[in-house]
Structure 1
Amino acid sequence: MATREDWTRAALGALADGGVSAVAVDRLTKVVGATRGSFYWHFKDRDELVAAALALWEREYTTDLIPLAEAVPDPRERLRVLFERVYEPRAEPIEIALAKAADDPLVAPVFARVGEARMALLRSIFLELGLSPEEAEARTWLAWAFYVGHHQAPGRPERLDRIVALLGS
């Protein structure tokens, strides 16, 4: 029998593959190997399923990762670890799909909350490096713009150390 977690993970996969419109209950019944009745046992409607998938994304791609970054005591090393984790690899398909759907009424509040949490982590690093609040804010914006832009930029930065040095100095 399919669980709520099975449905939620299947919806997250559908979001990554095709955006919010790809979360279709009939399509997902095949993915999870269950019936529509199973779906309605766990969710009142499709919007609730999409909300659960977005909550899973928020938790696994941000909320659970922030304490791991914060556990690195040195702020410069924390910045480096963060860049290695999120900037160096190719962007996750779910990140791209949700960025494209950022104006969807279900996605918008979660996407904004995730963005603010990620920026707050960056801001705290820059403040710990001893930068003024204004400079920390400017570098936070620059690091965030780099993150967003690297999803679409051709090629990959070869010198992660250089990027960290520029932002963290």
Structure 2
Amino acid sequence: MTHKPLLHRDDPDATPLVGNIKVTREDWLNIGLDVLIRDGVERVKVLALAEAMGVSRSSFYWYFKSRQELLDALLTRWEETNTAGLIAQAAAPAPRITGAVLNIFRCIANPDLFNTALDFAVRDWARRSETVRARMREGDAARVAAVTAMFARYGCAEKEAVTRAKVLYYMQLGYDMAEPEESHAYRLMMTPEYLKVFTGQAPTDAEMAEFSDYSRRYWPDLAP
């Protein structure tokens, strides 16, 4: 689910801009990401973005040489958020493998760690661009390698580690793409069972309590 991006000029905590500049490079990126997610890459056009922000198209060229440079920056932002976020979570410390997988599950709850809608938008974009497809494959490989390394840290042999990593990673992608009509409460209730499938172990009460508290920060519909 997307939301209207907050522009610099509309942010009460932002430092005022100098002169006639009304938006920043970050504003162009944010609204470009919003359109990419909502409408697809074909609709990421300079004039349309300028009209949406109520600024002149010429201001775009303060920050970007061309539309292609903006598109490249959007793809880099995807790598710096989704791919980097998942890799960081796979490397996060945990006493047990179940806690390590729960660290990855935080990406499901927290869109700042992993924006699922953005991932789907880039995958759709990759169907139209060989360059984007190549970067997507590099990103997938890096993510699987990070999850494989995570399983290896907890004693899995090489083949077992990569198999568990692929099952966890590709299952989660497919699960989100299918968009099952499940409440957050149901997903949280089922989490211990998924952990048994992915790791062969049951989580501790403390691990689940910590993950439940974390999820409630991002899933306000969960009962306290």
TM-score range, shorter chain: 0.7 to 0.9
Query: 2:83 aligns to what?
Result: 62
Q: Is the 8 A contact 1:69 1:81 kept in 2?
A: yes
Instruction: Go from structure 1 to structure 2 and tell me whether the alpha carbon gap of 1:106 and 1:40 turns closer, same or farther (over 3 Å shift).
Output: farther
Instruction: Go from structure 1 to structure 2 and tell me whether the alpha carbon gap of 1:11 and 1:105 turns closer, same or farther (over 3 Å shift).
Output: farther
- Count of residues paired in the alignment: 168
Q: Is the 8 A contact 1:17 1:94 kept in 2?
A: no
Query: 2:196 aligns to what?
Result: 165
Paired-residue identity, %: 29
1:7 and 2:28 aligned? yes
* Range 35-44 or range 65-74, more displaced: 65-74
Query: 1:85 aligns to what?
Result: 107
1:115 to 123, 140, 155: 140
* Greater C-alpha Rg: 2
How far apart, CA to CA, are the structure 2 residues paired with 1:45 and 1:88?
32
How far apart, CA to CA, are the structure 2 residues paired with 1:27 and 1:12?
13
How far apart, CA to CA, are the structure 2 residues paired with 1:66 and 1:73?
15
How far apart, CA to CA, are the structure 2 residues paired with 1:92 and 1:141?
18
Q: Is the 8 A contact 2:85 2:107 kept in 1?
A: no
How far apart, CA to CA, are the structure 2 residues paired with 1:145 and 1:88?
19
1:43 to 64, 68, 76: 64
How far apart, CA to CA, are the structure 2 residues paired with 1:105 and 1:18?
20
Q: For residue 50 of structure 2, what is the amino acid of its counterpart? A: T
DSSP 3-state at the match of 1:149: helix
Instruction: Go from structure 1 to structure 2 and tell me whether the alpha carbon gap of 1:102 and 1:124 turns closer, same or farther (over 3 Å shift).
Output: same
Greater relative contact order (CA < 8 Å, ≥ 6 in sequence):
1
1:155 to 181, 188, 198: 181
What root-mean-square deviation, in Å, do the aligned CA atoms of Structure 1 and Structure 2 show?
Answer: 2.3
Deviation at 1:106, TM superposition (A): 4.5
Which runs of no fewer than 5 residues in structure 1 stay unpaired?
none
